[in-house]
């Protein structure tokens, strides 16, 4: 049987001339089908090392199937980067080329690419044609028992009941023994997996699907049993990007008598023993070939995935112990960075109660992963807040519990471009529209700069640079007082603030630096359009316009160098109505404006003889 190859469109665009790296694909060995989802770059001589590192973060069923080395003369020609590394042909490879797929030499004709068929569902999880994503998650409590050190034993007697507090960290051997015991109790061949409510497709005419048990005796193929069309770009549930499963321990795997009522067991620890317990949030993704027998899924995908994740977490716990740290909870998170083409799974420790502190501590690990995956070095893509969220079940993002704001987002999208021609330079990323009278707080007449600041902070939140909440007026005032920029009487007042105060707050609250562009006269603002356009091209953050008479938020610049004309995309915080996009557009509370145009609230937008400060927040160079 010849191998069939499906290549996602993103793969062809990713492979640039003069580069080399690895191709990531879902592989169905039985049907000899390969679905290439994406690629990652790899340095010269580092193909094998990169493949090993990738194996730790790829979902079950995804593999680094081959390497590529682009031809410097043509970005459409590819060849193996190393003789011992299999390569997969791109869709437009010449028919005379030979390739190795899964260790077997094939011709390009045998590996001819099918139509581009990588779909993306509502939740953003790539689904390869012929494969069905499965997700298995559970939280387990790992209990580690180990001998007490002389100091802790003498001070506390038997410390078994004291948890982690005041005890020395357990040794590596004790952690390994606890993980092995957990695997023996939970991840046996007798374990049964059950679909969560609503994720198995309902039979025709039913409102709700019945849970489906998946075990070694299950009948039918994955596609037939789950009643999912694997060639579709969406899963059986619009709220879940894949079939979600929970493991159940089969009662037949236990030699003890089956309990007839809820029960607990008490077993005293030996003297001079300590106990350390920690929560492990396991969460495994697997790409199951739709033709795979359902009975093969546990042994082929789910159990290896859970065991591998436990091994990863064991190594992290042993690392904590070696550094003299108490054991901290671990969580597996799934990410789908834009442009990558396939998801990755990373296990993170929850080091602090403060999410900000944890993210800061994990920066070196994220930098390593960004380098491995070829991700940008200044855009957060692997923070807790970036993790894929799920509609139900455990293992969701730690930041998913924050309620979504009811404020409008990206209110400029859909506006027609200004009539001056030229090039548009726009804010890069999502933001929320903050304006007067929101949250039943009357700040009309004095809070415009506060609202502009809130819009800017929302941009940093939505780009995942911070998990801190958008500050309210009083908190903003408290920061300025703490910095000794204002007197204590400023708190609770209705006093204005300007661009300089906003720069202090962004620096203190978010650690964000800013540049200030000062324009001495409003009539000179168009002459600074090129500098403002450069800010949006390089930084992409919203700009606060202060000075003059009123404060605004600048979302973009249109600049026509040929005729010297400029227009400015103004987001006006003086709006006092409800979250009605049609009303906002009709009132030009967001819109393209030029010098001489009126503000939405009346009067000139830019007063010709007034000075203006343009506060330009700088994008942090961090992940």
Residue percentage of the chain with pLDDT more than 90: 56
Q: What pLDDT is attached to residue 13?
A: 60
Query: Residue 258: pLDDT above 70?
Result: no
Lowest mean per-residue pLDDT among 16-25, 204-213, 249-258: 249-258
Cα separation, 273 vs 152, in Å, equals 10
- Dihedrals phi, psi of 598, to nearest 5 degrees: -85, 150
Beta strand ranges found along 290-391 (DSSP E)? 330-335, 344-349
Residue-level pLDDT at 87: 40
CA separation for the pair 18, 191 (Å, rounded): 49
pTM: 0.82
Query: What integer is the mean pLDDT of 566-593?
Result: 97
Catalytic residue from among 448, 473, 535, 616:
448
Residue 312 to residue 429: CA distance in whole angstroms: 34
The mean-pLDDT minimum among 46-60, 92-106, 401-415 falls in 92-106
pLDDT of residue 168: 84
Give the whole-angstrom CA distance, residue 326 versus residue 342.
34
pLDDT at residue 292 above 60?
yes
User: Percent helix, strand and coil across the chain, each rounded to 5?
Assistant: 25, 25, 45
% of the chain with per-residue pLDDT over 70 = 73
Q: Which of 354-358, 410-414, 533-537 has the lowest mean pLDDT?
A: 354-358
Whole-angstrom distance, CA of residue 87 vs CA of residue 79? 7
What pLDDT does 432 receive? Answer: 98
Tell me the pLDDT tens digit for each residue of 201-246: 444 444 445 788 899 999 999 988 876 544 433 333 334 457 888 8
Do 285 and 60 contact (CB within 8 A), yes or no? Answer: yes
Known active-site residue 574: yes
| Greater pLDDT, 600 or 9 | 600
Q: Does 572 participate in catalysis according to the annotation?
A: yes
6 pLDDT exceeds 90?
no
Round the CA-based radius of gyration of the chain to a whole number and report it: 29
Say if CB 386 and CB 380 are below 8 A apart.
Answer: yes
Residue 107 CB partners (closer than 8 Å, separation 6+): 95, 97, 98, 99
pLDDT exceeds cutoff 70 at 618: yes
Determine the Cα–Cα distance for residues 35 and 3; give it in Å rounded to an integer: 11
Query: Does the structure show a pLDDT above 90 at 367?
Result: yes
Confidence tier at 273 by pLDDT (50, 70, 90): confident
3-class secondary-structure state, position 593? strand
Rounded CA separation 394/137 (Å): 6
254 token code pair? 């236990």
Residue 423 has pLDDT above 70, yes or no: yes
Instruction: Say if residue 437's pLDDT is above 50.
Output: yes
Name the band, by pLDDT with cuts 50, 70 and 90, for residue 195. confident
User: Which domains are seen in the chain, by residue range?
Assistant: 1-73+97-128 (no CATH), 131-147+172-202+211-227+242-249+272-386 (no CATH), 423-617 (3.90.70.130)
Catalytic residue among 121, 136, 574, 616: 574
Residue 475 has pLDDT above 50, yes or no: yes
Spatial distance between the Cα atoms of 522 and 608, rounded to a whole number of angstroms: 4
């Amino acid at each position: 049987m010849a191998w069939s190859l499906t290549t996602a469109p993103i793969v062809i665009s990713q492979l640039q001339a003069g580069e080399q790296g690895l191709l990531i694909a879902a592989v169905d060995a039985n049907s000899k089908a390969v679905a290439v989802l994406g690629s990652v770059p790899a340095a010269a001589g580092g193909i094998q090392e990169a493949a090993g590192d990738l194996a730790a973060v790829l979902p079950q069923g995804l593999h680094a199937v081959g390497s590529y080395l682009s031809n410097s003369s043509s970005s459409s020609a590819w060849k193996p980067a190393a003789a011992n590394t299999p390569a997969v042909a791109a869709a437009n490879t010449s028919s005379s080329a030979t390739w190795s797929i899964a260790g077997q030499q094939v011709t390009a004709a045998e590996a001819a690419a099918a139509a581009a068929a990588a779909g993306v569902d509502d939740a953003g999880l790539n689904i390869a044609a012929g494969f069905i994503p499965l997700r298995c998650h559970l939280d387990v409590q790992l209990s580690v028992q180990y001998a007490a050190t002389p100091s802790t034993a003498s001070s506390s007697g038997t410390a078994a009941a004291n948890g982690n507090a005041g005890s020395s960290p357990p040794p590596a051997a004790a952690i390994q023994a606890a993980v092995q015991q957990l695997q023996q109790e939970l991840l046996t061949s007798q374990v049964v997996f059950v679909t969560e409510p609503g994720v198995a497709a309902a039979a025709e005419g039913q409102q709700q699907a019945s849970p489906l048990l998946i075990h070694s005796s299950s009948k039918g193929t994955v596609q037939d049993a789950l009643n999912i069309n694997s060639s579709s770009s969406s899963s059986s549930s619009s709220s879940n990007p894949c079939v979600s499963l929970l493991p159940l321990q089969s009662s037949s795997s236990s030699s003890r008598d089956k309990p007839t009522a809820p029960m607990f067991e008490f077993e005293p620890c030996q003297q001079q023993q300590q106990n350390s317990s920690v929560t492990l949030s396991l969460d495994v993704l697997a790409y199951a070939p739709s033709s795979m027998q359902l009975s093969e899924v546990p042994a082929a995908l789910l159990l290896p995935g859970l065991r591998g994740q436990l091994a990863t977490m064991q190594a992290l716990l042993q690392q904590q112990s070696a550094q003299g740290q108490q054991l901290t909870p671990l969580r597996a998170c799934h990410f789908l960075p834009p442009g990558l083409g396939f998801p990755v799974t990373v296990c993170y420790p929850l080091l602090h109660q403060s999410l900000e502190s944890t993210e800061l501590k994990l920066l070196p690990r994220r930098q390593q992963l960004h380098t491995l995956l070829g991700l940008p070095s200044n855009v957060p893509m692997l923070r807790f807040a970036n993790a894929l969220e799920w509609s139900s079940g455990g293992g969701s993002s730690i930041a998913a519990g924050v309620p979504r704001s009811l404020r409008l987002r990206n209110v400029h999208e859909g506006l027609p471009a200004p009539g001056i021609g030229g090039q548009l330079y726009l804010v890069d990323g999502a933001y929320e529209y903050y304006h007067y009278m929101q949250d039943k707080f009357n700040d009309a007449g004095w809070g415009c700069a506060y609202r502009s600041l809130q819009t800017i902070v929302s941009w940093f939140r939505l780009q995942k640079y911070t998990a801190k909440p958008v500050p309210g007026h009083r908190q903003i005032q408290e920061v300025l007082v703490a910095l000794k920029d204002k007197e204590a009487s400023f708190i609770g007042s209705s006093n204005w603030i300007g661009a300089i105060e906003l720069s202090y707050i962004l620096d203190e609250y978010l650690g964000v630096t800013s540049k200030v562009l000062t324009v001495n006269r409003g009539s000179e603002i168009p002459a600074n359009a090129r500098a403002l356009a450069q800010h949006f091209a390089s930084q992409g953050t919203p700009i606060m316009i202060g000075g003059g008479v009123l404060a605004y938020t600048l979302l973009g610049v249109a600049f026509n160098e040929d005729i010297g004309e400029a227009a400015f995309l103004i987001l006006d915080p003086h709006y006092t109505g409800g979250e009605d996009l049609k009303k906002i557009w009709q009132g030009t509370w967001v819109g393209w404006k030029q010098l001489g145009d009126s503000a939405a609230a009346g009067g000139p937008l830019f007063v010709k003889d007034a000075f203006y400060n343009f506060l330009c927040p700088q994008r942090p160079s961090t992940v």
